[in-house]
Amino acid sequence: MTETANRLIARIRDLEDQLEAEFARRRADFRFRVEKHRVIFEEAVMRRQQALKQRLWPYVRGARPLVILTAPVIYSIILPFVLLDLFVTIYQAVCFPVYGIAKARRRDYIILDHQHLAYLNGLEKLNCAYCSYANGLIAYVREIAARTERHWCPIKHARRMQGPHPHYPEFAEYGDAETYRKIIAQKPSYPEKTPPGAD
pLDDT digits (tens, 9 = 90+) for 162-175: 989 988 988 988 99
CA 184 to chain centre: 26
* Model pTM score: 0.79
Report which of residues 190 and 72 the model is more confident about.
Answer: 72
Buried b / exposed e over 70-92, threshold 16 CB at 10 Å, is eeeeeeeeeeeeeeebeebbeeb
Query: 3 pLDDT band (50/70/90 cuts)?
Result: confident
Percentage of the residues of the chain whose pLDDT score is greater than 90 = 48
Mean pLDDT, residues 79-93 taken together: 98
Res 131 pLDDT > 60: yes
pLDDT of 100 strictly over 70: yes
Q: How confident is the model at residue 198 (pLDDT cuts 50, 70, 90)?
A: very low
Cβ(116)–Cβ(39) below 8 Å: yes
- pLDDT of amino acid 80: 97
On the question of pLDDT at 70 being above 50, the answer is yes
